[in-house]
Structure 1
Amino acid sequence: MEKQTRYSELLSQIEVFANDADHPISVLCNCAAVMKTIFPEEYFWVGFYIVEGGELILGPFQGTPACTCIKFGRGVCGTAWKEQCTLVVEDVEKFPGHIACSSLSRSEIVVPLKHDGVVVGEIDIDSTQLSTFDNEDRIYLEHAAEMIAPYMAKLAKPL
């Protein structure tokens, strides 16, 4: 199945979860699970980080154990938060200050979740292959982020 078709399916399923009255943690859990299920080969690790003060705290995810706290401006996640924009990293080894939660991670995309103009969390996705993510991934994942952000806002504690 081509990438665009899989992303359409992903957005459709996220929309179902995002319109549900479930607890925000349940929504994030199901969103991470559906992302991993639809992109099992591409997504080695997929999950959420929640803003709490000056740190990103690990939220629901699918994959191997991960870093539990990331400071503002550190690594790919902290930098995406600081710059308030999606970062597509073709080779994490070349990213200054990359935090290696897993030595298997080779490329990454991080999408900030914004609610009322404030970053309240992030979608973080890692791949074991170089250059896995591109502009098409960015566009679709930013759309997913718009649907998920209101739920993340219920959990976040920004400064």
Structure 2
Amino acid sequence: MTFQELKPKVQDILHHTEILREDKLLQICHLLLDNIDYYDWVGFYFANHEEKTLHLGPYAGEPTDHTVIPFGKGICGQVAVSNENFVVPDVKAQDNYIACSFTVKSEIVVPLFVDGKNIGQIDIDSNIIDAFTEADERFLEFVNEEIAKLF
């Protein structure tokens, strides 16, 4: 399924008022995992700014031990500090990478902003090297802009 085909499906999930926010986010994770063949793990991390940590939220894919990540550590922790997208074509080339699985080859993390504040991020792993393009970035920015309306 193309990104253009997925956009209305994302909006449809998010506009159901009878579904809890956590369940909507989980549905988004499964939608992306099931429909983009090179997305092998999709999840959200949310910031605790007082503790300077990220906490795992809804996700789809293999379980992870990384349920709490300090700001600055790993790709997700770096995005919590930089407030910028981070595309990693080859995770083995990153010094500050937290390995979730030996099968992961590339990663993309896009911050989630609400009222200009980085409250978390969407994190996607791929088992294919150099899997992500600018089109993935734009699509995930769209997803996060839609999700931000829930907060």
For 1:9 and 1:70, locate their aligned partners in 2 and report how far apart those are by CA, in whole Å: 33
Partner of 2:12: 16
Which is bigger in relative contact order (C-alpha 8 A, separation at least 6)?
Answer: 1
RMSD: 1.2
Q: Residue type matched to 2:21 in 1?
A: P
Quick check: 142-151 or 42-51, which moved more?
A: 142-151
SS at the partner of 2:149?
helix
Matched, 1:29 2:26: yes
Partner of 1:134: 133
Partner of 2:121: 122
Q: Residue type matched to 2:146 in 1?
A: M
What is the deviation of 1:96? 2.1
Partner of 1:57: 55
Partner of 1:156: none
For 1:95 and 1:142, locate their aligned partners in 2 and report how far apart those are by CA, in whole Å: 23
* Identity %, equivalent residues: 36
Partner of 1:157: none
Q: Is the 8 A contact 1:32 1:47 kept in 2?
A: yes
Extract structure 1 runs of 4+ deviating beyond 6 A: none
Q: Is the 8 A contact 1:50 1:121 kept in 2?
A: yes
- Specify every segment of 5 or more residues in structure 1 that has no aligned partner in the other structure, as ranges: 154-159
Q: Residue type matched to 1:82 in 2?
A: V
> What is the TM-score of this pair, normalised by structure 1?
0.88
Q: Is the 8 A contact 1:108 1:124 kept in 2?
A: yes
Q: Is the 8 A contact 2:71 2:77 kept in 1?
A: yes
SS at the partner of 2:130?
coil
For 1:96 and 1:33, locate their aligned partners in 2 and report how far apart those are by CA, in whole Å: 30
- Specify every segment of 5 or more residues in structure 2 that has no aligned partner in the other structure, as ranges: none
